[in-house]
Amino acid sequence: MKQLIECVPNFSEGRDLSIIKQITDAIESVKGIRLLNVDPGHATNRTVVTFVGEPQQVVEAAFRAIQRASELIDMKYHKGEHPRFGATDVCPLIPVTDITMEETVGYARLLAKRVGNELNIPVYCYEFAAFEVKRQSLANCRAGEYEGLAEKMKTAGWQPDFGPVTFNDRSGAIAIGARNFLIAYNVNLNTTSVRLANSIAFDIREAGRIKREGDPITGKIIADEHGEPVRIPGTLKKVRAIGWFIKEYGIAQISINLTDISTTSVHQAFDEVCERARDRGIRVTGSELIGMIPLQAMLDAGKYFLQKQHRSLGIPDHEIIKIAVKSLGLDELAPFDPDKRIIEYFLEDKDKNLIDLSMTDFVHETASDSLAPGGGSVAAYLGAMGAALGSMVANLTSHKRGWDDRWEEFSEWAEKGKLIYDELLKLVDKDTAAFNQIMDAFKLPKETSIELIARKSAIQSATKNAIEIPFRVMQLSYDSMDVIEAMAETGNPNSVTDAGVGALCAATAVSGAYLNVLVNASSFQDREAIKQLLEHAAELELKAKNRCEEIQMLVRSKIGM
């Protein structure tokens, strides 16, 4: 899976659409960047832009946008209701897929250094990218706003982290940081009472409610020794919430901002609202997601509800997401389309891959007069089918009547099989792509000595890739035999032959992929570099054949043959 980062820069211009368009054009000029949303505000004179891409692409797109904003926006003339201190006021990077916060911080600081050095704009690093605790808060970094920035930069302890220490009167300063994904999420109630909705919101939000004497609403506020109101904290960390009435729907909602879904998830917030609503005689009828959500958040929600039902977690992602949508009631007010609301699905290449074809179309494509897909892709497909059969037996067994006390054991086997067949399915297309890469390398020019060297290097690099991919197919297909053998031994006896077929698929995938390893290795010049891989591949094929025979004997003994 690609590493993905979301970036949400805020620009101090919300009225001149031509300026906003020039800034977003700069963002979209970077190949691979997807612009998700542009939200200009007239009163705030501020535009919030959301885009996503791989880390290096995001850093480049953000830099170009900040550079363009510095050319188009003059802060000396800016007026607006929202706090601000720069033309690009704030620019957070947010980890989305397969990337840690620590890595994201690295990219944020890389961007900050480049903006400071190349654009001569003072930069303050905030949130997770901050170099000291007091700068973690965006409010602290921006205190005094643009009008107080010149004096602030002269104050001890408030010099910028990067860039000049002198006031840039045109561009001001910028806060660049790394933060967790924020989800705007509303929970629907079967009441029109804003007061009751607010009571639930105060129960759950981290800030809680102000403590009062006697009546919690009209009683006298209790203050601490500094005269500040004492608060009763809510039950959920990193959560902001308020109750309101939505005239369009005719219901009250709890409007929630989940500022760190690694601390409080969507499903945790939903269940907590359900509990607190029930205490007040109110029922939650569904919920509403504002904007987009990472795939993992939806998978986590689906698995959470499946676990509560004692159901296997090793089912396909689209089924897990369906459970999440229904359990959270995300389709109560409007249809929920995962392809449009889940970031990774929205970003998927819309061109059909081999695994997107129907089985009939895949067979026809394989039988056509093109060289790909060939044996390598078919081997990966067979391996995926073998692992899928192992998962199927585990899923069937996990909720078989009388086996309820062992559902977790079989769920774990099903999940292991799912991880394997998901990766093997990706290798179906990667094998064909590897073949095409070799063909492209052979088409490179070879008129000069430099071109010949470059062509030879490209061919060898592509060939090495074409060896490693079928070897990965071999390893995964062999690993799937752990699941298949366990299901033949302990799974639902009525499905033991399915495990047997799975073993045959897995063994064939190993042998088929081995042929592709060998044929590509025959034209790879650095034999020493792949010596160990070839030895391991030969061992894997032998072990797979032997293990398949053992599983077949086990299956036949189970069916009395």
- Residues that are catalytic: 82, 431
CB 485 within 8 A of CB 554: yes
Q: How far is CA 70 from the centre of its chain?
A: 31
CB 372 within 8 A of CB 436: yes
Q: Can you tell me the distance from the alpha carbon of 24 to that of 3, in angstroms, rounded to the nearest whole number?
A: 22
Number of Cα atoms under 13 Å in the Cβ half of residue 370: 11
Q: Can you tell me the distance from the alpha carbon of 112 to that of 362, in angstroms, rounded to the nearest whole number?
A: 48
283-319 in b/e form (b: 16+ CB < 10 A) is: ebebbbbeebbbbbbbbbbbbbbbeeeebbbbbebee
What does the DSSP 8-state code read for residue 190? Answer: S
Residue 121 is which amino acid? I
Which backbone phi and psi does 271 adopt, to 5 degrees?
-65, -35
Number of Cα atoms under 13 Å in the Cβ half of residue 54: 9
CB 136 within 8 A of CB 97: no
Residue 108 is which amino acid? A
Cα distance from N-terminal residue to C-terminal residue, the chain: 44
CB 142 within 8 A of CB 83: yes
H helices of 491-530, where?
A: 496-521
Q: How far is CA 409 from the centre of its chain?
A: 27
Residue 179 is which amino acid? R
CB 253 within 8 A of CB 235: no
Count other Cβ atoms within 10 Å, centred on residue 98.
12
Structure tokens at 100: 């840690």
Which backbone phi and psi does 433 adopt, to 5 degrees?
-65, -35
**Which residue shows structure tokens 């368009």?**
21
Find the helix or strand (DSSP H, E) in which 485 lies: helix 449-490
CB 75 within 8 A of CB 88: no
CB 354 within 8 A of CB 429: yes
Give the alpha-carbon dihedral of 399, 403, 405, 406, to 10 degrees.
-80
Q: Can you tell me the distance from the alpha carbon of 114 to that of 214, in angstroms, rounded to the nearest whole number?
A: 57
